[in-house]
Amino acid sequence: MFTVPLAGGAELRPLEPWQAAEFLEHMDRARATVDPWIPWAGVSTDLDTATATLQRYADLAARDAGRLFGIWLDGTLVGGTMFVAFNAEAGTCEIGCWLEPAGQGRGLITMAVRRLIDWAVHTRGIHRVEWRCRPDNTASSAVARRLGMHRDGVLREVAPYRGVRHDLEIWSLLAGETADESAGESADESAGETAGESAGESIAS
């Protein structure tokens, strides 16, 4: 019902428990590439568990503690982005994302996450937006860098996955570092790219 147009026929919309069958079909296409990086991909394997994943986010949304959005490309669910955590009182949130292979390489996540950041910062007054990814997840850290985030540091061996404990990089964007989308898409694009490039340079150095 509520749709944010992205580019190239893609749309960002809420993803809710009543869409569990569609979500499961998408997960079946995405699981192999997404499972190592998104903890719940490996456990959303049938209608009950897919519904449970979506219901968990619906419950978080009801408490204003998280939210989940899908990305549809030409009418097919190809991925999504979410507030993994949202704390309006503390002014902090964490954003995550995923795409099945058919949705990758088009800038869909970068566009969609910009919308989430804009809403979090300019509508909800969030001060710090966080992004967490494993150091070997270079596609994810590239998104963080493209969004103008700064790499704060590494939490060592904090994330267990199939018997191995992995490091997590913490990236963040502060309210003063974001562009207001209402100022215009082209201004936003250039601000994001410039900040992203400078963040990338500081990491490389």
Ligand X SMILES: CC(C)(COP(=O)(O)OP(=O)(O)OC[C@H]1O[C@@H](n2cnc3c(N)ncnc32)[C@H](O)[C@@H]1OP(=O)(O)O)[C@@H](O)C(=O)NCCC(=O)NCCS
Residue 118 or 176 with smaller CB distance to ligand X? 118
Segment interacting with ligand X, rule: CB under 6 A, options 15-23, 32-40, 52-60, 83-91: 32-40
Residue type, 177: E
Contact track, ligand X, 59-98, x by CB under 6 A: -------------------------------------xxx
Q: How far apart are CA 194 and CA 196, in angstroms?
A: 5
Residue 26 or 106 with smaller CB distance to ligand X? 106
Residue 125 or 194 with smaller CB distance to ligand X? 194
Q: How far apart are CA 149 and CA 202, in angstroms?
A: 11
53 near ligand X, rule: CB under 6 A: no
- Using Cβ positions, the residue closest to ligand X within the complex turns out to be 107
Tokens, residue 167: 């490091």
User: Rounded to the nearest whole angstrom, what is the least distance from the CB of residue 19 to ligand X in the complex?
Assistant: 19
Q: Which of residues 99-128 bind ligand X (CB under 6 A)?
A: 99, 104-110
* Dihedrals phi, psi of 82, to nearest 5 degrees: -150, 155
Segment interacting with ligand X, rule: CB under 6 A, options 82-90, 138-146, 157-165, 175-183: 138-146
Neighbour-count burial for 172-188, b at 16+ CB within 10 Å, e otherwise? bbeeebbbebeeeeeeb
Taking CB under 6 A as the criterion, the residue among 44, 51, 53, 140 binding ligand X is 140
User: Rounded to the nearest whole angstrom, what is the least distance from the CB of residue 5 to ligand X in the complex?
Assistant: 14
Report the relative pairing of strands 92-99 and 128-133 from DSSP bridges.
parallel
| C-alpha distances in Å from residue 68, one per residue of 14, 60, 86, 200 | 6, 9, 11, 28
User: Rounded to the nearest whole angstrom, what is the least distance from the CB of residue 37 to ligand X in the complex?
Assistant: 3
* Cβ burial, residue 52 (10 Å; 0-12/13-18/19+): middle
**Contact positions vs ligand X (CB under 6 A):** 33-34, 37-38, 96-99, 104-110, 133, 137, 139-140, 142-143
